[in-house]
Amino acid sequence: MQVWRIWKSVLTNSFWYSEKITLAPFPRGFHLITDVIVRELPQIRKLEVGTLHLWLQHTSASLTINENADPSVKTDLESWFNHTVREDSSYFTHTYEGSDDMPAHIKSSLLGCEVTIPIHQGKLQLGTWQGIVLGEHRNQGGSRRIVATIQGLEGKTD
Amino acid sequence: MQVWRIWKSVLTNSFWYSEKITLAPFPRGFHLITDVIVRELPQIRKLEVGTLHLWLQHTSASLTINENADPSVKTDLESWFNHTVREDSSYFTHTYEGSDDMPAHIKSSLLGCEVTIPIHQGKLQLGTWQGIVLGEHRNQGGSRRIVATIQGLEGKTD
Amino acid sequence: MQVWRIWKSVLTNSFWYSEKITLAPFPRGFHLITDVIVRELPQIRKLEVGTLHLWLQHTSASLTINENADPSVKTDLESWFNHTVREDSSYFTHTYEGSDDMPAHIKSSLLGCEVTIPIHQGKLQLGTWQGIVLGEHRNQGGSRRIVATIQGLEGKTD
């Protein structure tokens, strides 16, 4: 983790925070990372109101929101994407980085590389069943980097 | 509707507003909700510049932007998603919540659960044909909740 | 380009900027526009921390993030989307604007019409291989408009 800086105003209670988070390598598939993100960013607890923006700096992985409970949802997500974005598509021309590469680029654009989550009274306003999910679409994706940007208004009591 | 609070600064004209909106149940399919959102959020009119962030707190419905005019666009969206994310996919393992459940999770990630719309001179900067669309992907989805976060700078004249 | 206004606070270093960018017409397909965006928005360089939000005001084109290097990635993206969202789908009813119209609406919702990119020390925090990509999904889409909103904190030295 590379903390960039905390910016605060003493005149107002305006707050900005930015940090680059490096994730340990994940195997191909969908992985819940809510706990990792919340643990890395205790600054969320300071905010009365605000937003957390997460930006994955890659084009062959993705960030999405999906169910945080039953692991079969993540397995079926992986199955559906593999059936729908097929590695053996005969019309692919971008093939020299491996048969998993071009499908990974397509999945990354379908799912997106960012989420913006509202913050209220020190907590991410995720629904009961919502979790932050990393989609690793390469066979050997390696570690992945996320730029986290928190902004909002600081509360009085934290 | 549950209003959380309005935050203002008297030193600057910085503005934050956050509210949880509960939508009445919609049938399965795509539904235009621009008018509901604008009616619930008169605070948009106060802002000289800013953004409206909408966050749907669910993993089996979605928020997207699409045509606001011809209803056939919404019908065809529903048809395409049903043909492409098939309920009878033999490889699904997450089936105990009904055959519409796992496809709903996939559609939710494909379309996303959030939009951020720019505000200028008191108005959402939607294009002429753009509307805010709720995708209800369950047969009986029930009521859905959206966390709305408005931030920006207040104008002088409103 | 239509500059709306720059808002600054002298009490804090808070910064908002909003501009409407008109793109020259692109042929159908995926096109890298990072350079156009960065050239139009020198204000990015002023910010110590912040975000750039880009909003495409259309429902038959899209904004996404993908590889900035090999043009074959953009070609294969176009091929995959054409194979997956077929113009000859027999169940489409919204056909009077041409066979490319309804597929364009679907692609626009799959890919989205917006990106929010973090800014740090005067630079967009794109990963090494990330570029801003316009998806033009109509055969004759014409010029397209993007509302750009920059917000953040100004640095001391620019």
Instruction: Give ipTM to 2 decimals.
Output: 0.93
Chain A residues within 8 Å of chain C (Cβ atoms):
4-5, 7, 9, 11-12, 14, 16, 18, 53, 55-59, 84-85, 89, 91-94, 102, 105-106, 108-110, 112-114, 116, 145, 147, 149, 151
Q: Chunked in runs of 10, what are the mean pLDDT values of chain B (158 residues)? A: 53 83 97 98 94 98 97 98 97 96 98 98 97 98 97 74
Phi, psi of B76 (to 5 degrees): -70, -35
Among candidates A49, A83, A129 on the partner chain, residue whose Cβ is nearest the Cβ of B59: A129
**Residue type present at position B58:** H
Residue with tokens 């494909």: B110
Task: Give contacts of C56 with chain B, Cβ < 8 Å.
Answer: 127
pTM: 0.94
Tell me the shortest Cα–Cα distance from C61 to chain A, in angstroms: 14
Q: If DSSP codes are grouped into helix, strand and coil, which group holds residue B135?
A: strand
What is the C-alpha to C-alpha distance for residues C112 and C132, in angstroms, rounded to an integer? Answer: 13
How high is the pLDDT of residue C8? 53
Answer for the pair B59, B141: CB distance below 8 angstroms, yes or no.
Answer: no
Q: Which residue of C has its CA nearest to A144?
A: C127
Residue A123: how many other CB atoms lie within 10 Å: 12
C84-138 residue pLDDT tens = 999 999 999 999 999 999 999 999 999 999 999 999 999 999 999 999 999 999 9
Domain range summary for chain B, segments of one domain joined by +: 2-154
String of DSSP letters for C6-59: EEE-SSS-EEEEEEEEEEPP--SEEEE-HHHHHHH-GGGGGEEEEEEEEEE--S
- Computed over every residue of chain A, the mean pLDDT equals 92
Tell me the shortest Cα–Cα distance from B95 to chain A, in angstroms: 9
Confidence tier at C3 by pLDDT (50, 70, 90):
low
How high is the pLDDT of residue A2? 53
What is the C-alpha to C-alpha distance for residues B144 and B23, in angstroms, rounded to an integer? Answer: 5
How high is the pLDDT of residue B158? 40
Encode B64-89: b = buried (16+ Cβ within 10 Å), e = exposed.
bbbbbeeeebbbbbbbbbbebbeeeb
**Between 3.40.50.10490, 3.40.50.2300, 2.60.120.460, 3.40.50.300, what CATH number should domain A2-154 receive?**
2.60.120.460
Instruction: Name the burial class of residue C80, with classes exposed (0-12), middle (13-18) and buried (19+) by CB atoms within 10 angstroms of its CB.
Output: buried
C5-32 residue pLDDT tens = 556 554 567 889 999 999 999 999 999 9
